[in-house]
């Protein structure tokens, strides 16, 4: 049975070969089913390989780890024709239905054509007009559309311009309607509304109103309404200038500005009606009281309005205070009882867990030590919180007497318990911090060491296993090494061949390919799959297949372009350079494998 769990590199490589139906990484976050490769779920396809051999990569981004998955996928399909397309999931069923001729066949074609045309209309900016072989041209060909992408794109661009012009006209209509509404509003109501808006933080509401009026003035044709609008715009700007002077440097309204706002509110009908007493909560009542009081202290107004303001302000302040006091009492009870009960529950649960020996103490770093440190800190926090509750205050004694009594009964043992926890916690924290610092220094030294190496030194270090695959990934040609090789004479029993691109194959498969490549080189023959040259029609090596061998012994397998010198060097190192076989023997072995 073929392996299905790989490293992230190998997941991308195996998917790129399309020789296996499924595979995944060890944590399951990077996986493929058939033609499609996913990152963290089916909502984000990283890439799709259609049956004509074209790789379609998702042009969207999602997260840092998904970006790494996308880089692995792009690297693995570098030997294929590649296209990048946004919103790849909306094209998934179309791309999976493309056959070896590059077209969608069967019942899905009609729906696919409609969906592709809609997709291109939505994402036309992502596909350039130039280029003889663009993703858009491939998609149109796949669904059998006779449209030319250059003409289609120009049409979509012109349609977008028409839509933008239409949106501008609609916006102009709305702006003119807003300007006419400002002209029609009674002057006193407009001024009152402006002062009310000026009471917001940084006078944002008034600034927005001024922007609307300015746009309307620019859009309004010459005439009486434009003159009226200009006069009102100047008045609004004057109010804003005065409001800026009344506000502090951060834009918060001062008492004087609040007075003007309150006076403006009184001048509107809302606050002079009995319905003002129907404010639903304390916040609304406090808002009324806070805006009326500065008016009574600063502003000058007619006696009847002052009497109304005094009555409404007094009623608002009394009702707001009553409701605020009740809310505060309930909040105090909740604020006392819930944390105290939570601390008791946490203390008891942690104490039982600790008494049961429910942790592993064989490591001072790693997940187990981190869990241990977290649990000990939670225990210590609950003990300290209980100590504060046991020391007591008026609120605890008044609102949670039963809880305070329970805590006081525990207090004699809390101090000793806290000391035991600290004695266990401190060494773990120190050891973890020391391990973290040592690991950080080691990583910095390793990065500096790798950065100072030449290409030949990097290859030698990778062969020795002292640097990672990423240090040699972008060499012009991949290098090879054998891991765990088991060789008896001219027979390879076990081991793994690793490439600098992160791919792995069984060493015995690699040895069989070496023998065939050596035979091709000795005879000066080239080889391509599908043509039974030298008795071999298909040359498999692990999850990969050899795509081409030239007369010099250089060959291609997937995204790997391997030089004969590298193969010969590895064969010499394993002592099998002279273990050659005739093409007929190799063909017989391949057919029986």
pLDDT in tens, 72-92: 999 899 888 999 999 999 999
What's the mean pLDDT in 240-247?
A: 86
- DSSP 8-state secondary structure symbol assigned to residue 98: B
Cβ atoms within 10 Å, residue 41: 10
At residue 297, does pLDDT exceed 70? no
Of 216-220, 291-295, 447-451, least confident by mean pLDDT is 291-295
Whole-number Cα distances in Å, 53 to 35, 57, 120, 132, 166: 10, 13, 22, 18, 43
CA 430/CA 435 separation, integer angstroms: 9
Residue 583's nearest CA partner among 532, 545, 542, 547 is 532
Q: Look at residue 228 in the predicted model and tell me its pLDDT.
A: 92
Q: Look at residue 534 in the predicted model and tell me its pLDDT.
A: 67
What's the mean pLDDT in 18-26?
A: 89
Paired with 541 in beta bridges are: 544
135-142 and 149-184 helices, crossing angle to 10°: 110
Q: Look at residue 310 in the predicted model and tell me its pLDDT.
A: 78
User: What pLDDT band is residue 289 in, cutting at 50, 70 and 90?
Assistant: confident
Q: Look at residue 280 in the predicted model and tell me its pLDDT.
A: 54
Q: Look at residue 348 in the predicted model and tell me its pLDDT.
A: 77
At residue 132, does pLDDT exceed 60? no
Q: Look at residue 273 in the predicted model and tell me its pLDDT.
A: 47
User: What pLDDT band is residue 163 in, cutting at 50, 70 and 90?
Assistant: very high
Is the separation of the CB atoms in 514 and 539 below 8 Å?
no
What's the mean pLDDT in 24-31?
A: 91
User: What pLDDT band is residue 512 in, cutting at 50, 70 and 90?
Assistant: confident
Q: Look at residue 421 in the predicted model and tell me its pLDDT.
A: 81
Q: Look at residue 300 in the predicted model and tell me its pLDDT.
A: 62
Of 99-103, 132-136, 227-231, least confident by mean pLDDT is 132-136
Average pLDDT of the residues of the chain: 81
Cβ atoms within 10 Å, residue 507: 25
Query: Is the dihedral angle over the CA atoms 346, 351, 354, 356 positive or is it negative?
Result: negative
At residue 365, does pLDDT exceed 60? no
User: What pLDDT band is residue 361 in, cutting at 50, 70 and 90?
Assistant: very low
Please tell me which residue, 159 or 270, carries the higher pLDDT value.
159
pLDDT in tens, 554-588: 988 888 888 998 888 888 888 888 887 776 677 66
Is the separation of the CB atoms in 90 and 116 below 8 Å?
no
**Structure-block tokens of residue 528:** 């391509």
User: What pLDDT band is residue 120 in, cutting at 50, 70 and 90?
Assistant: very high
Of 324-333, 349-358, 423-432, 503-512, least confident by mean pLDDT is 349-358
pLDDT in tens, 520-562: 888 888 888 876 666 777 788 877 888 888 888 898 888 888 8
Q: Look at residue 267 in the predicted model and tell me its pLDDT.
A: 63
Of 30-44, 78-92, 171-185, 300-314, least confident by mean pLDDT is 300-314
- Residues 6 or more apart whose Cβ sits within 8 Å of residue 362: 368
**Structure-block tokens of residue 499:** 């490439």
Q: Look at residue 284 in the predicted model and tell me its pLDDT.
A: 64
- Residues 6 or more apart whose Cβ sits within 8 Å of residue 353: 375
Q: Look at residue 122 in the predicted model and tell me its pLDDT.
A: 92
Of 104-108, 112-116, 149-153, 495-499, least confident by mean pLDDT is 104-108
pLDDT in tens, 173-222: 999 999 999 999 888 888 888 888 888 888 889 999 999 999 999 999 88
Paired with 544 in beta bridges are: 541
- DSSP 8-state secondary structure symbol assigned to residue 562: E
At residue 394, does pLDDT exceed 70? no
At residue 355, does pLDDT exceed 80? no
Of 152-156, 295-299, 304-308, 318-322, least confident by mean pLDDT is 295-299
User: What pLDDT band is residue 591 in, cutting at 50, 70 and 90?
Assistant: low
% the chain with pLDDT above 70: 84
Whole-number Cα distances in Å, 379 to 88, 212, 296, 425, 566: 49, 58, 56, 10, 60
Kindly report whether the global pTM for this prediction surpasses the value 0.85.
no
Q: Give phi and psi for 551, each to the nearest 5.
A: -70, -15
What's the mean pLDDT in 498-503?
A: 86
Q: Look at residue 49 in the predicted model and tell me its pLDDT.
A: 94
Of 388-402, 407-421, 506-520, least confident by mean pLDDT is 388-402
Q: Look at residue 305 in the predicted model and tell me its pLDDT.
A: 65
Residue 558's nearest CA partner among 40, 80, 183 is 80
User: What pLDDT band is residue 368 in, cutting at 50, 70 and 90?
Assistant: low
Please tell me which residue, 30 or 332, carries the higher pLDDT value.
30
Please tell me which residue, 387 or 57, carries the higher pLDDT value.
57
CA 501/CA 76 separation, integer angstroms: 9
């Amino acid at each position: 049975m073929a392996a299905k769990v790989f490293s992230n590199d190998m997941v991308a490589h195996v998917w790129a070969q399309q020789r296996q139906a499924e595979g995944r990484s060890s944590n399951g976050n990077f996986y493929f089913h058939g033609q499609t490769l996913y990152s963290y779920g089916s909502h984000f396809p990283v890439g799709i390989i259609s049956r004509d051999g074209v790789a379609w990569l998702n042009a969207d981004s999602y997260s840092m780890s998904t970006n790494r998955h996308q880089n692995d996928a792009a690297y693995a399909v570098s030997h294929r024709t590649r296209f990048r397309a946004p919103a790849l999931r909306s094209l998934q069923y179309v791309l999976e239905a493309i056959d070896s001729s590059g077209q969608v066949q069967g019942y899905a074609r009609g729906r696919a054509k409609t969906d592709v045309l809609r997709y291109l209309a939505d994402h036309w900016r992502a596909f350039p007009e130039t280029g003889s072989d663009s993703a858009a041209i491939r998609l149109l060909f796949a669904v059998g559309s006779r449209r030319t992408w250059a003409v289609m794109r120009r049409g979509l661009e012109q349609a977008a311009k028409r839509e933008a012009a239409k949106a501008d006209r609609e916006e102009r209509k709305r702006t003119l309607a807003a300007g006419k509404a400002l002209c029609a509003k009674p002057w006193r109501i407009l001024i009152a509304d402006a002062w009310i808006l000026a009471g917001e933080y940084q006078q944002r509401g008034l600034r927005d109103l001024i922007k609307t009026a300015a746009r309307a003035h620019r859009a309004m044709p010459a005439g009486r309404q434009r003159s009226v609008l200009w006069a009102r715009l100047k008045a609004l700007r004057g109010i804003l200038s005065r409001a800026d002077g009344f506000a502090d440097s951060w834009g918060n309204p001062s008492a004087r500005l609040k007075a003007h706002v309150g006076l403006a509110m009184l001048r509107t009908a809302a606050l002079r009606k009995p319905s003002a007493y129907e404010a639903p909560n304390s916040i609304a009542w406090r808002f009324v009281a806070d805006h009326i009081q500065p008016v009574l202290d600063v502003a000058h107004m007619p006696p009847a309005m002052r009497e109304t303001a005094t009555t409404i302000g007094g009623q608002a302040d009394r009702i707001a205070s009553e409701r605020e006091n009740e809310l505060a009492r309930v909040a105090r009870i909740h604020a006392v009882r819930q944390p105290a009960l939570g601390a008791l529950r946490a203390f008891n649960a942690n104490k039982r867990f600790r008494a049961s020996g429910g942790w592993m103490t064989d490591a001072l770093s790693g997940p187990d030590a981190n869990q241990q440190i977290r649990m000990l800190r939670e225990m210590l926090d609950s003990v300290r919180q209980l100590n504060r509750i046991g020391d007591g205050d008026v609120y605890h004694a008044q609102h949670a007497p039963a809880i305070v009594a329970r805590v006081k009964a525990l207090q004699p043992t809390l101090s000793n318990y806290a000391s035991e926890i600290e004695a266990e916690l401190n060494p773990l924290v120190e050891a973890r911090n020391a391990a973290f610092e040592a690991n950080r220094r080691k990583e910095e030294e390793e990065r500096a060491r790798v950065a100072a190496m030449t290409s030949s030194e990097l290859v030698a270090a990778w062969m020795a296993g002292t640097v990672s695959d990423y240090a040699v990934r972008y060499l012009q040609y991949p290098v090879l090494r054998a891991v765990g090789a088991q060789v008896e004479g001219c027979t390879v029993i076990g081991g793994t061949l690793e490439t600098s691109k992160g791919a792995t194959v069984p060493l015995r498969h690699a040895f069989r390919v070496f023998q065939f490549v050596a035979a091709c080189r000795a005879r000066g023959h080239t080889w391509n799959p599908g043509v039974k040259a030298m008795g071999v029609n298909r040359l498999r090596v692990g999850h990969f297949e050899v795509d081409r061998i030239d007369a010099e012994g250089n060959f291609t397998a997937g995204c790997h372009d391997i030089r004969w010198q590298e193969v010969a060097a590895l064969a010499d190192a394993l002592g099998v350079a002279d273990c050659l076989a005739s093409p007929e023997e190799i063909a017989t072995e391949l057919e029986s494998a």
